[in-house]
Amino acid sequence: MNKVSFSYLDELNEVQRNAVTTIDGPVMVIAGPGSGKTRVLTYRIAHLINSGVHPGQILALTFTNKAAREMKERIERVIGSSANKIWAGTFHSLFARILRVEAHRIGYPNDFTIYDTDDTKSVISEIVKTMNLDKKVYAPGVVRSRISSAKSNLITPKAYAVNEELLAYDRMNMRPHIHVLYDKYVKKCEKAGAMDFDDLLLQMFKLLYQNPDNVRSKYQNQFKYILVDEFQDTNYLQYEIMKLLIEYPDSPRNICIVGDDAQSIYSFRGASIENILMFETDFPEVQVFKLEQNYRSTNFIVNAANEVITYNSNQIKKKIWTQKEDGKKIKLIKAATDNEEGKRVSDSIIEQKNRFNLANKDIAILYRTNAQSRVFEENLRRFNIPYRVYGGLSFYQRKEIKDFLAYIRMVINDKDDEAFKRIINFPKRGIGNTSVEEIAKIAEDNGMSMWEVINSIELNSRAKKSIGEFVSIIRESKAKIDKLDAYEAAKFILNKSGIMTMLKADGSIESRSRMENLTSLLDGIQEFVQDDTLEINEEFSNDKSLSKFIQNISLMTDQDENNADADTVTLMSVHSAKGLEYRSIFVVGLEENLFPSYMSLADPSQIEEERRLFYVAITRAEEHLTLSYANSRYQYGDMRFNDPSRFLEEIKDENIDGLIGITRESKGFGEPKILGNFKPLKPKTASLNINPDDFSASPISKIIPGARVLHLKFGEGQVLSVDDRQIATILFSDAVDSPEKRIVLKFAKLQVLE
DNA sequence: GGGGGCTATGGGGGG
DNA sequence: CATAGCCCCC
């Protein structure tokens, strides 16, 4: 029955095997890209379980939802359904889960609200306004990041107020009052029963550190084995939480950290490479395993990665290597404009699919900023290449979804002033800014929530009647949530809110899509109600209330994962590509000011982080790596000109193939004139399967009317005519859209068939 | 006091 | 290009 099999150990190389089987005491795995890190992690967990560890005693922490999901899936494949007993997930989601049970011990309600970045910024703006500070100087984003990094370094508002270094920095930037804002912000969140993303860590720390009712030992006993993925991305606070969980008298200190300093790309949110050094000091008995053999990429790609990273001065010495063949050289696409870049990349994707028999899902386009996706989306659509965009504005960040969720938040936690402000006058019911500010002021002065104010204080605002309407919507909804299941309750609230009525009345295409989104959120809630799979810990699993549903929604940043197996090209930021691999990778927008980002140019350490980011990007590729840049692009509404990225120069020429396509010396405006044929292809174009080795382009002089030719993209065709500009009209009978194509001979790859 | 339209400004990455 | 803030009219 429970036959224990250790056969998976045969699939590992020696270093990997040692990293998997050394289960006692602290272990550090330094894992280069493609070195089988995830395999080591999953097999290590499988090995723990095979060695008699109960799955519920394992805590496996990751940074992104995507990494967590992938880890869980892979563990399940190895050990079966008991995998769902493992505490595997992101720091934020697992700590939120614990705090949902324990928060009352540290003065928070267990059904605390989670503030996302927008909520946080809005709270800060409010404080800046009431303090009569300049909102340009105290931009909410800037203030938020100061507060966030204070929290990440365990600096309380009190400590901040006397920390000369921080104060001096703020004075230098003409923001001497940040410590006051920090203090007020924390108090406001506490009063609203809300935690921001940093609080999920900070309050977890507080819980373990202050140790009410000896709660710490409960979790120390529960988590006998701790694993941390992407350790180079942890911040000080996360490190301290780990230590509280692992360090106690006679602790076996079973902690395994996995990471790669060369892939540290999150210092902007407080991650610190120093944690790796600190770990070696705090756990001197640590056993270190270095995984340097790369199983992912061919040699040209590995070489390029090694070359690029040598330009960084701060790094743990290691060199990745591969036994694979040289493979294809790196391709470079040089475009005149961002739009041409989009076209050439799409063009190149079609060519690769045909020449190398790649599926769409083997291909990913990686960019530095999410805003770059638009041009690629447009062009991929034009070529009828199915694609999927990760990141950017997720489903839960859409306006209509946030509005509806704000209603639900209000119904569940009426102290949630951020939700209150969002919906008090949405849909429009005649309660303007003046009234809202009056309510906010009274709330502030009396230490009440805004909801309490409108329920207890007679306002002289003439919006009184409308406020009454709002109160009854929320009250009636409140009366329902305990009687109905999450789905019925949500449907009731949505109806009451009037959002749907408003959208229906509007009738625009946009409104219709908003209504669809709301309906699909309701579907999601229905699914949640009917879902019968068990969660990690049974004490959490029977709650089907609406409150339970929305509790972790702020943490759900990924887009719907329903069709993860669909055959689509993937578009995403380099950050979210970490940990993934594709047969073919396009890294686009390689220009100074963009990649590396203009934000990083002044600071050498930030340039190094950009370089690590580039390192991450190129090491995602298994066989094909294409780098592209544009001489000019539209940014912030007008045309900008950027130089090619310094990172391109850091790759030795011997690893790079010649240019693809036109080299335009002129940095002119507008569309390049000649770009081949960009009419849309029908989807599911039959792959032509032309072996590139059998293909050799013929000289232009051979392309004459009547000749039979082979084209890499369009297959076999017959030349009808060639005009004096050397443009041939060719009949491709297999082409799905229009069989007749005009081909510019100067750029076309045509082979004359005898 | 509230709502709609126009102008000015800022624009990174993720939980 | 998107959003916030401002002005002006209802």
Which tens digit of pLDDT belongs to each residue from A81-105?
A: 888 889 999 999 999 999 999 999 9
User: What single-letter amino acid sits at A410?
Assistant: M
Query: Catalytic residue at A315?
Result: no
Nucleotides of B under 7 A from a protein CB: 1-4, 9-15
Which of A's residues 538-577 have CB atoms within 7 A of nucleic strand B? 555, 557-558, 573, 575-576
Which of A's residues 447-476 have CB atoms within 7 A of nucleic strand B? 461-463
Closest residue, by C-alpha, to the C1' of B12: A369
| Spatial separation of the C-alpha atoms in residues A383 and A367, rounded to whole Å | 20
- Other CB atoms within a 10 A radius of the CB of residue A734 amount to 13
Residue A598, nucleotide of least CA–C1' distance: B12
pLDDT of A635 > 80? The answer is no
Residue A90, nucleotide of least CA–C1' distance: B15
Can you tell me the mean pLDDT for A352-377? 92
Please check whether residue A345 is in contact with residue A379, taking contact to mean a CB–CB distance below 8 angstroms.
Answer: yes
User: C-alpha dihedral over A527, A533, A539, A540, to 10 degrees?
Assistant: -30
Candidates A199, A229, A347, A610; catalytic one:
A229
Residue with tokens 């970490």: A578
Candidates A37, A184, A206, A331; catalytic one:
A37
Instruction: Check: pTM over 0.85? Answer yes or no.
Output: no
pLDDT score, position A29? 95
List the one residue out of A83, A10, A14, A72 whose CA is nearest residue A50.
A83
| Spatial separation of the C-alpha atoms in residues A253 and A221, rounded to whole Å | 12
The model's confidence at residue A461, banded by pLDDT at 50, 70 and 90, is low
Per-range mean pLDDT, top range of A193-207, A373-387, A454-468, A636-650: A193-207
Helices and strands (DSSP H and E) totals, chain A: 28, 21
| B14 C1' to A373 CA distance, Å | 17
Grouping H, G, I as helix, E, B as strand and the rest as coil, residue A493 is: helix
Which tens digit of pLDDT belongs to each residue from A97-128?
A: 999 999 999 999 998 989 888 888 888 888 88
Which tens digit of pLDDT belongs to each residue from A642-688?
A: 889 999 999 998 899 865 543 333 222 233 322 222 222 222 222 34
Alpha-carbon distances, residue A575 vs A60, A61, A114, A390, A392 (angstroms): 21, 18, 24, 11, 12
The model's confidence at residue A726, banded by pLDDT at 50, 70 and 90, is low
Please check whether residue A325 is in contact with residue A298, taking contact to mean a CB–CB distance below 8 angstroms.
Answer: yes
- Mean of all residue pLDDT scores within chain A: 84
Nucleotides of C under 7 A from a protein CB: 1-2, 5
Looking at per-residue confidence, does A618 or A389 come out higher?
A: A618
Residue A433, nucleotide of least CA–C1' distance: B2
pLDDT score, position A735? 53
User: C-alpha dihedral over A433, A437, A438, A442, to 10 degrees?
Assistant: 160
The model's confidence at residue A637, banded by pLDDT at 50, 70 and 90, is low
pLDDT score, position A231? 92
Query: Catalytic residue at A222?
Result: no
Closest residue, by C-alpha, to the C1' of B14: A64
Candidates A38, A220, A397, A729; catalytic one:
A38
Query: Regarding beta strands A708-711 and A715-722, do their DSSP bridges make them parallel or antiparallel, or are they unpaired?
Result: antiparallel
Q: If you compute the radius of gyration of chain A from its CA atoms, what whole number of angstroms results?
A: 29
Candidates A97, A334, A620, A713; catalytic one:
A620
Q: Does nucleic acid strand B have an atom less than 7 angstroms from the CB of A93? A: yes
| Spatial separation of the C-alpha atoms in residues A59 and A98, rounded to whole Å | 12
Can you tell me the mean pLDDT for A157-186? 90
Query: Catalytic residue at A3?
Result: no
Which tens digit of pLDDT belongs to each residue from A322-334?
A: 999 899 999 999 9
Q: Does nucleic acid strand B have an atom less than 7 angstroms from the CB of A529? A: no
Per-range mean pLDDT, top range of A472-476, A717-721, A728-732, A739-743: A472-476
Can you tell me the mean pLDDT for A585-603? 90
Query: Catalytic residue at A164?
Result: no
pLDDT of A296 > 50? The answer is yes
Which tens digit of pLDDT belongs to each residue from A561-570?
A: 545 578 999 9
Q: For residue A421, what is the enclosing H or E element?
A: helix A417-423
**3-state class percentages of chain A: helix first, strand second, coil last, to nearest 5:** 50, 15, 35
The model's confidence at residue A551, banded by pLDDT at 50, 70 and 90, is confident
Query: Catalytic residue at A229?
Result: yes
Q: From the centroid of its chain, how far is CA A70?
A: 14
% of residues, chain A, pLDDT over 70: 86
DSSP codes, A511-533: HHHHHHHHHHHHHHHHHHHH---
pLDDT of A242 > 80? The answer is yes
Alpha-carbon distances, residue A351 vs A331, A355, A430, A619 (angstroms): 13, 6, 58, 22
Query: Catalytic residue at A458?
Result: no
Cβ contacts, strand C, under 7 angstroms: A 125, 135, 634, 636-637
Mean pLDDT lowest for which of A202-206, A409-413, A432-436?
A: A432-436
List the one residue out of A114, A117, A91 whose CA is nearest residue A103.
A114
pLDDT score, position A634? 81
pLDDT of A696 > 90? The answer is no
| C1 C1' to A745 CA distance, Å | 38
| C6 C1' to A433 CA distance, Å | 13
| Spatial separation of the C-alpha atoms in residues A541 and A528, rounded to whole Å | 11
Residue A199, nucleotide of least CA–C1' distance: B15
Grouping H, G, I as helix, E, B as strand and the rest as coil, residue A728 is: strand
